[in-house]
Chains A and B, each alone.
Chain A
């Protein structure tokens, strides 16, 4: 299969578009009134310009390309001290804007190819992927532990390999293996059952989407699982009637929608299959009046926009052939695919909900600090950063923080514990399930 995953060298021309203006170091919007906010978790924690935003990351990339910077342990460490959240990317307006996360990850790919990356703590992920097909060193049989209550209640969840269904619920490793967020697949499946949907899961045959491997620069491992998954998806479509794949993990969603599309055969393999995030999927039911919230939840809640269902889904318009401005010119962006309004709309529709908005939202949302391999590589910093986000939520008077990403959920929970706050974390589906 032919992948178009660019090397750092292939990105050299766009790397030389950055002016080092530093606009990416803070989030700002004219308004009025003007909005200002810290946007780079790495910058907030480590502070030096090299650590900060795309200005710093591009400096590293240039240093590698012009031969000034050679790998040292500290340098490798610095390129992994980034959540690849894209907060910096959102501030830049130049032609390399669409490629900023790609540049960061291409450096990591180079580090991995040169045998110096990822960081030792993150290498565990790669090993786990190879041995267990998931990043959590979880034995395959544990993947279905969350389904037990359904079996007990005599509402077992279909194994799609055995019984056909039009909908595959692709659970994702975090929901399946990570105990504190295990209620996420439970709530999702419960809603699907309440809605009377015909769906199934891959169960012990589900393998990781490859997002974590990709974020860490392990392109080979990513390709292995991505290719396997795409073949499975095609088989499910061709032989088991699957038309829709739903995922409740922002990371899986981003990987399947965006990273997998770097494969030449992507369109063919996914022909006839819709990939959709649970939130988006449920919104259609909500809009059509097929999902009604009947129970009251008298909660004060705020909403955290995950990077992977927000900024990472921005599509960029590039002048590919030079007919509009010049070849490679960044012409504009569309946020149509970003899940900003949908989760808020559903949350606000739940009876009793008192919704409070934080300052940094939407495309200027402040990353929880867990992405880009940071939670595994730098757990302490990830939790510290999550504590900052929790504080922002507390400042609104909210008592619960809602998200649509199990990764954010887990990390924000760590942050809440770290600052000894009473903020409770929930996934939107948990609230929906309670309200139905």
Chain B
């Protein structure tokens, strides 16, 4: 791993001021503490922050931002750092703003189905609180200790995205500290202090903070929609020999919008863990397996869903598909349908064999481009002795197609990391050239995106960023602009 700069830019005057803002116990420039924030699980090169600060109130966040802006010190917001894209690795050093101590669930509105939470609230914490009301959120297949708000901010996806779309679409209101320290609100809470139910019908200024990877402001409260939890879970599992057949099945079933999650994974990703290095798939195993998660209120509703599913299967088989009803590997299925999941959360299913590293080319790619891209990815990955452990999912019916390869690698030595990085960037270029868009992009991806972007788009990004963050202090460098 290593390659951390030996020189530190810490300045005791700055540490002292930060301590005055958040208290002695919540700010530090001690190297061992900074070191623990210098890397994550991805291939992104480690970088040390110069200070770590844990605010406990909105006023403290404002104090930090005003001071940082005045001193032109970079600030990288952090909740759990599990984003798999090096998004919390401070490219430019500066202050690592660890928000975990702001972790209150402020309200669960059981009638209007939304919750107001602080950024430090984890999926685990919210899951246990919501369960008391028989409510749920679209839990990602990630660590239960990860933050709900950071997931929503970064266009995260979860177990209900098949039905409701991205988690950012579930945001109902936000309170944000701007890079210059002012406090703003967006959504209904901007009009009436206590109203957190909807971003619409106002102008969508929440878009100034979603998908910006913590570069435009620090979210201090967020309202998100929550959903009732029907009691009957039925998961339909199938397999096909080709991604083309699988994509067709997912499209046809997706049309009916009856699934909370409609996902398929290649044989390599259905293994717990993903084989590292690459090993060939047994000849008799299907290349693609899928699960379709449905929740129903009554037995009759479940039967109706099953009827639709059977109809779809028949339709696909008539088309000559290799589709079959199949058992999905048990532990892998548990990991993906019992959310939040400790199995996935602890990365057991991804990197237990490889050790320490995971990165992905994670993209939104229309369903009709999946197969040609997968064919190319497979060649790239196998050539580098990496498993083509690929996932495809439909979100919001058939609207967004997600295509992603989860690539584990060991991190003790630099070579395997670089091998994975090169493979992933190569895969990403293929996807971009087919019209896909990477999500939660590390800087390496950002460079590739911006290279292809319309110049007007890049200029607009720069203008918005400059308007909100005139001194470019927030998560500096992360947008690769």
The answer to whether A16 and B81 touch across the interface, beta carbons within 8 angstroms, is no
The answer to whether B1 and A26 touch across the interface, beta carbons within 8 angstroms, is no
Q: Smallest CB-CB separation from A75: which chain B residue?
A: B32
Interface assignment of A33: CB less than 8 Å from any CB of chain B = yes
In the complex, which of the residues A20, A34, A78, A91 contacts B32, with contact meaning CB atoms closer than 8 Å?
A78
Write out the residue numbers on chain B whose beta carbons fall within 8 Å of the beta carbon of A47: 25-26, 54, 98, 100-101
Write out the residue numbers on chain A whose beta carbons fall within 8 Å of the beta carbon of B339: 30
Contacts of A20-37 to chain B: CB distance below 8 A = 20-26, 28-36
Give B180 Cβ to nearest chain A Cβ, in Å: 26
Contacts of B330-377 to chain A: CB distance below 8 A = 338-343, 345-348, 351-353, 355-358
Give A160 Cβ to nearest chain B Cβ, in Å: 47
Contacts of A86-112 to chain B: CB distance below 8 A = 91-95
Interface assignment of A46: CB less than 8 Å from any CB of chain B = yes
Write out the residue numbers on chain B whose beta carbons fall within 8 Å of the beta carbon of A92: 346
CA distance A143 to B208 in the complex (A): 69
Interface assignment of B281: CB less than 8 Å from any CB of chain A = no
How many A-B pairs with Cβ below 8 Å? 159
| Interface residue count on the A side (C-beta < 8 Å) | 50
Contact A23:B346 (CB < 8 A) given known A33-B128, A47-B54, A95-B355: yes
The answer to whether A91 and B342 touch across the interface, beta carbons within 8 angstroms, is yes
In the complex, which of the residues A19, A29, A34 contacts B41, with contact meaning CB atoms closer than 8 Å?
A19
Contact flags (1/0) for A57-77 with B, using CB distance below 8 Å?
001101100101100101100
In the complex, which of the residues B36, B52, B82, B353 contacts A21, with contact meaning CB atoms closer than 8 Å?
B82
The answer to whether A51 and B33 touch across the interface, beta carbons within 8 angstroms, is yes
The answer to whether A68 and B124 touch across the interface, beta carbons within 8 angstroms, is no
Q: Smallest CB-CB separation from A50: which chain B residue?
A: B36
Give the interface segment out of B58-66, B138-146, B188-196, B384-392.
B138-146
CA distance A16 to B196 in the complex (A): 44
Q: Smallest CB-CB separation from B353: which chain A residue?
A: A326
Interface assignment of B2: CB less than 8 Å from any CB of chain A = yes
Give A43 Cβ to nearest chain B Cβ, in Å: 9
CA distance A26 to B342 in the complex (A): 11
CA distance A69 to B342 in the complex (A): 31
CA distance A49 to B79 in the complex (A): 10
The answer to whether A23 and B33 touch across the interface, beta carbons within 8 angstroms, is no
The answer to whether B100 and A36 touch across the interface, beta carbons within 8 angstroms, is no
Contact flags (1/0) for A126-166 with B, using CB distance below 8 Å?
00000000000000000000000000000000000000000
Write out the residue numbers on chain A whose beta carbons fall within 8 Å of the beta carbon of B356: 16-20
Interface assignment of B452: CB less than 8 Å from any CB of chain A = no
The answer to whether A68 and B345 touch across the interface, beta carbons within 8 angstroms, is no
The answer to whether B348 and A94 touch across the interface, beta carbons within 8 angstroms, is yes
Contact flags (1/0) for B1-34 with A, using CB distance below 8 Å?
1101000000000000000000001101011110
The answer to whether A28 and B144 touch across the interface, beta carbons within 8 angstroms, is yes
Write out the residue numbers on chain A whose beta carbons fall within 8 Å of the beta carbon of B357: 19
Q: Smallest CB-CB separation from B410: which chain A residue?
A: A16
